[in-house]
């Protein structure tokens, strides 16, 4: 079975999880992270969403509107709501999946406090258009959601540095992982200090028992993604037996994980450091696979994603109206195609009657129904099989 994604974990991480972690590991991780991303400060959190929530608090925003994409991870508006602000959703643009910045201009009101722009699937936010907005509204905070991008560049300019702060998610499905965890980066000394104070006041220290749960979780990930085991795991998933473990949201509920205010553990920081050392190599491999997929599928009459300089390809996303049949075909032939992101947030039960769902979302809705992705974390051989299976699915008449 070729999984829809595989965390890039090796022996160093395996030994890392079995040996004690330096109590100062979180500090080391923050220093290494800031250096890798070319930023002055990095502050670590238990989850990316906790970082976003506390960033909004540190920016002094309360009772304000925060603009974000309609097509993004649902934890983003959850964090906005938990910070005491209201998410305002803006539709995406078909060319690169990103939020349409021209529509953002129309969504800005005197209540707006911040704009969250996301380089979704690793496609860099258009920083030229973003600059226009910044010039016209210098009082608005700009937050770069880099959970999918990790160092994407718009015409040579690093996306994470183009704003007041950037957030990163580091769970096992991301480009690099610290088991769970998230990071906020910024070049502003004052904001970094506020974030640290905020973290001290709002989160509690992690104990040995969270550290052990994290270690066991990562070992379980090694087992689940072992090639002998993965077919079985996928089988259980298809039967719906892993529902609670693999589904990370409930359509009707705005919530946070139980431990969202318990600090990142040293063992997570240690794994994060080991992963940072692999970062360049991982991104390079993803770029190679994206080019390979593009070439190998370009003769088919399907909607392929763009190839853009500076993109980091957290996912290779094809849009197809028979997505479900293709995924089903793949599952029966040893290749798992992913279904990320399969919702348009302002259509979800938790958000559709909130004030932020006030625009039209034709593009986001269409992508939510059609997006399927090929693994960019597999080997070259896995990619060849994914292409072969995808082509056979199309040829078999699902399309």
Ligand X SMILES: *Cc1c(COP(=O)(O)O)cnc(C)c1O
Q: Site residues for ligand X, window 49-68 (CB under 6 A)?
A: 49
Residue 263 has φ and ψ, to the nearest 5°, of -55, 160
**Residue showing tokens 């996301």:** 118
124 binds ligand X (CB under 6 A): no
SS3 294: helix
Q: Site residues for ligand X, window 76-105 (CB under 6 A)?
A: 76
Least gap, CB of 148 to ligand X (angstroms) = 5
E-state strands within the chain: 41-45, 65-69, 86-90, 112-118, 141-145, 153-154, 157-158, 165-169, 182-186, 316-319, 371-374
Tell how far CA 346 is from the center of its chain.
Answer: 19
SS3 399: coil
Least gap, CB of 118 to ligand X (angstroms) = 5
Q: How far, in Å, are 103, 153, 336, 387 from residue 382 at the CA level?
A: 39, 27, 11, 9
Cβ neighbours of 352 (radius 10 Å):
14
* β-strands 141-145, 112-118 pairing: parallel
For residues 333 to 372, the per-residue mask of contacts with ligand X, x marking binding by CB under 6 A and - elsewhere, is: ----------------------------------------
- In the structure encoding, which two tokens stand for residue 89, read together? 């959703």
376 binds ligand X (CB under 6 A): no
Q: Which residues contact 134 (CB under 8 A, 6 or more apart)?
A: 140, 142
Least gap, CB of 248 to ligand X (angstroms) = 7
Answer for which of 73, 289, 290, 326 binds ligand X (CB under 6 A) is 73
Do residues 6 and 233 lie in contact, with contact meaning Cβ atoms separated by under 8 Å? Answer: no
Least gap, CB of 180 to ligand X (angstroms) = 7
Q: Which range in 54-62, 73-81, 158-166, 262-270 contacts ligand X by CB under 6 A? A: 73-81
Q: Which range in 28-36, 41-49, 216-224, 275-283 contacts ligand X by CB under 6 A? A: 41-49
Answer for which of 4, 41, 64, 148 binds ligand X (CB under 6 A) is 148
47 binds ligand X (CB under 6 A): yes
Least gap, CB of 341 to ligand X (angstroms) = 8
Tell how far CA 294 is from the center of its chain.
Answer: 22
315 binds ligand X (CB under 6 A): no
Answer for which of 7, 48, 124, 310 binds ligand X (CB under 6 A) is 48
Which residue in the shown chain puts its C-beta closest to ligand X? 48
151 binds ligand X (CB under 6 A): no
145 binds ligand X (CB under 6 A): yes
Least gap, CB of 82 to ligand X (angstroms) = 11
169 binds ligand X (CB under 6 A): yes
What is the DSSP secondary structure assignment for residue 373, as one 8-state letter?
A: E
Q: Which residues contact 30 (CB under 8 A, 6 or more apart)?
A: 41, 42, 43, 44, 183, 269
72 binds ligand X (CB under 6 A): yes
SS3 369: helix
Answer for which of 8, 103, 171, 325 binds ligand X (CB under 6 A) is 171
The residues that touch ligand X, with contacts defined as CB under 6 A, are 47-49, 72-73, 75-76, 118, 145, 147-148, 169, 171, 182
């Amino acid at each position: 079975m070729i999984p829809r994604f595989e965390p890039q974990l090796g022996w160093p991480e395996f030994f890392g999880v079995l040996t004690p972690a330096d109590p100062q590991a979180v500090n080391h991780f923050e220093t290494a992270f800031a250096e890798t991303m070319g930023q002055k400060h990095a502050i670590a959190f238990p989850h990316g969403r906790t970082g976003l929530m506390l960033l909004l608090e540190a920016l002094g925003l309360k009772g304000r509107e925060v603009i974000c994409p309609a097509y993004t991870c649902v934890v983003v508006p959850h964090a906005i709501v938990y910070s005491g602000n209201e998410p305002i959703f803006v539709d995406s643009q078909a060319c690169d999946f990103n939020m349409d910045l021209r529509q953002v201009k129309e969504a800005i009101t005197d209540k707006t406090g911040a704009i969250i722009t996301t380089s979704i699937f690793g496609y860099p936010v258009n920083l030229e258009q973003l600059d226009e907005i910044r010039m016209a509204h210098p009082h608005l905070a700009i937050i770069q959601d880099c959970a999918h991008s990790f160092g994407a560049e718009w015409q040579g300019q690093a996306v994470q540095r183009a704003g007041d702060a950037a957030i990163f998610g580091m769970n096992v499905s991301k480009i690099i992982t610290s088991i769970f965890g998230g990071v906020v980066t910024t070049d502003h000394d004052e904001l970094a200090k506020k974030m640290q104070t905020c973290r001290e006041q709002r989160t509690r220290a992690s104990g040995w028992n969270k550290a052990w749960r994290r270690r066991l979780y990562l070992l379980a990930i090694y087992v689940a993604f072992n090639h002998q085991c993965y077919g079985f795991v996928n089988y259980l998933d298809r039967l719906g037996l892993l529902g609670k473990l693999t589904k990370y949201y409930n359509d009707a509920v705005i919530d946070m994980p139980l431990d969202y205010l318990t600090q990142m553990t040293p063992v997570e920081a240690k794994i994060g450091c080991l992963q940072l050392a692999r970062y360049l190599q991982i991104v390079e491999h993803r770029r190679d696979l994206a080019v390979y997929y593009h070439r190998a599928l370009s003769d088919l009459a399907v909607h392929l994603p763009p190839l853009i300089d500076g993109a980091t390809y957290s996912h290779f996303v094809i849009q197809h109206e028979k997505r479900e049949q293709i995924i089903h075909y793949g599952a029966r032939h040893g290749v798992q195609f992913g279904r990320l992101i399969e919702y348009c947030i302002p259509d979800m039960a938790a958000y559709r009657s909130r004030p932020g769902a006030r625009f039209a979302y034709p593009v986001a809705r269409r992508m939510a129904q059609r997006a399927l992705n090929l693994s960019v974390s597999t080997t070259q051989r896995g990619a060849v099989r994914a292409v072969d299976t995808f082509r056979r699915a199309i040829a078999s008449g699902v399309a």
